[in-house]
């Protein structure tokens, strides 16, 4: 029997790793088992956060112009979206003892902004102290993927944002950052998602199921 309790699950990884696919698969399985679950994402998840997402993920200036957001402006927008998301969606759901599945969370900020763009980690940590409200994931699934698989999936996407168009070198660096963040953490699980098949889906569900049982 599943125990009704607040539970926060996060999926992390680079573009094309299949995390959004696995998020949806897990969500459907939990709902099928009559577990109150919400599926959300970052940046986004609420009306206000989605507005910010649209601003920061599209090619917001003409490509032939040099003007772009400063990396700290960019980071502040991500953190603003997170604040709205936590306050208006994640925290209320957890208070209602629901399971929350989130496509990206704080590790994405560290992998992309800190390790990728060299934003000062203390800058982010200080803001997180205010906006996270003590929320930490109960489980984090980090999906690693081969460059060939990720490139193949990205090519199939009908709509792309600026993060789908980065160099393979950037994705490789970001993936190493995710793996580094997950190292030696008991509630983190690293899976190779290059195949992204039913076996991976079952492995993830088995871990979640074990965590939700009495």
Q: Provide the CATH number for the domain around residue 70.
A: 3.40.50.300
Residue 37 to residue 211: CA distance in whole angstroms: 14
Is residue 2 in some structural domain?
Answer: no
SS3 at position 143: strand
- Evaluated on CA atoms 193, 195, 198, 200, the torsion sign reads negative
- Tens place of pLDDT per residue across the chain (214 aa): 677 899 999 999 998 888 999 999 999 999 999 999 999 999 999 999 999 999 888 755 556 666 778 899 999 999 999 999 999 999 999 999 999 999 999 999 999 999 989 999 999 999 999 999 999 999 999 999 887 766 666 666 566 656 656 667 778 888 999 999 999 999 999 999 888 778 999 999 999 999 998 5
In this structure, is residue 118 part of a structural domain? yes
* Domain membership flag for residue 182: yes
Query: Nearest Cα to 8, choosing from 38, 53, 47, 42?
Result: 38
Answer yes or no: is 14 within a domain: yes
**Residue 115 has what DSSP assignment?**
I
Alpha helices in 115-194 (DSSP H): 121-131, 147-156, 168-182
* Domain that residue 63 falls in: 7-212
Q: What is the value of pTM for the model shown?
A: 0.90
1: in domain: no
DSSP β-bridge partners for residue 101: 9, 39
Specify the number of domains making up the chain: 1
For residue 43, is it within any domain?
Answer: yes
Looking at the domain assignment, is residue 45 inside a domain? Answer: yes
Residue 157 covered by a domain = yes
Distance (Å, whole) CA 109 – CA 169: 18
H-helix or E-strand containing 189?
Answer: strand 188-192
């Amino acid at each position: 029997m599943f125990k009704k309790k607040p539970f926060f699950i996060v999926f992390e990884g680079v573009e094309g790793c299949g995390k959004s696919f696995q998020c949806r698969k897990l969500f459907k399985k939990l709902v099928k088992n009559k577990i109150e679950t919400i599926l959300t994402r970052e940046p986004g998840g609420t009306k206000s956060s989605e507005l910010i997402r649209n601003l920061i993920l599209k090619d917001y200036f003409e490509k032939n112009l040099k003007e772009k957001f400063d990396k700290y402006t960019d980071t502040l927008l991500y953190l603003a979206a997170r604040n709205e998301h936590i306050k208006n969606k994640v925290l209320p759901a957890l208070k209602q003892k629901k399971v929350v599945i989130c496509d990206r969370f704080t590790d994405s900020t560290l992998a992309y902004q800190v390790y990728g763009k060299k934003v000062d980690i203390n800058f982010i940590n200080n803001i997180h102290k205010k906006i996270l409200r003590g929320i930490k994931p109960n489980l984090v699934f980090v999906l690693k993927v081969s460059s060939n698989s990720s490139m193949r999936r990205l090519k199939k996407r009908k709509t792309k944002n600026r993060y789908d168009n980065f160099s393979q070198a950037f994705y490789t660096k970001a993936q190493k950052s995710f793996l580094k963040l997950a190292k030696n953490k008991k509630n983190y699980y690293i899976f190779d998602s290059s195949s992204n098949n039913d076996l991976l889906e079952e492995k993830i569900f088995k871990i979640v199921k074990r965590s939700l049982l009495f």
